[in-house]
Amino acid sequence: MADWVDKHFDIPRAMQTSGYRLRMLTVNDLVKDYDAVMSSQTELQGVFGPESHWPKADMTMEQDLIDIGWHQKEFQNRSSFAYTMMSLDEVTCLGCVYIYPTSKADVDAQVIMWVRSGSDLDQQLYEDVRQWLANAWPFRNVVYPGRIISWSDWLVQD
């Protein structure tokens, strides 16, 4: 599905607000990402669907490195897009946003996002990402499983 976004479309490298920056997730973010993921481990259960057990309580930094490297390669291949949500000073990972293709004919992309445990940025991130995708991306119909549509409804839709 590497062609789900037109090859001539310039993929946005970042999106910045007054409180945080979204930018491509890379292996250079490992330490900060691992800290955010593991400090939010319980809250993140099911963020990728009811069958997802990511992140496991015993996830190692090496396992996170593999995941991040995979996301980075997918971004380079234009097959999906993972963004880290960083504080403006780049000191703290505040969360992540993932933009994935979908096999559903009437949906251009599915988006999954999370914020670090204890953050009050979840609703703001959701609103900002919806606006960003509407204004800067070529998508007409984006779905946010677990938010606008329940995971159970999303998984049974044809």
Q: Chain-wide mean pLDDT for the chain? A: 94
Percent of the chain with pLDDT strictly greater than 70: 97
Task: Give mean pLDDT, residues 55-77.
Answer: 97
CATH class, domain 15-150, is alpha beta
Q: What pLDDT score does 2 carry? A: 47
Task: Spell out a b/e string for 112-145, using b for 16 or more CB atoms within 10 Å of the CB, else e.
Answer: bbbbbeebebeeebbebbeebbeeebebeebbbb
Q: Give me the mean pLDDT over the 99-127 stretch.
A: 94
User: Model confidence at 136, in pLDDT bands (50, 70, 90)?
Assistant: very high
Contact yes or no for 107/42 (Cβ under 8 A): no
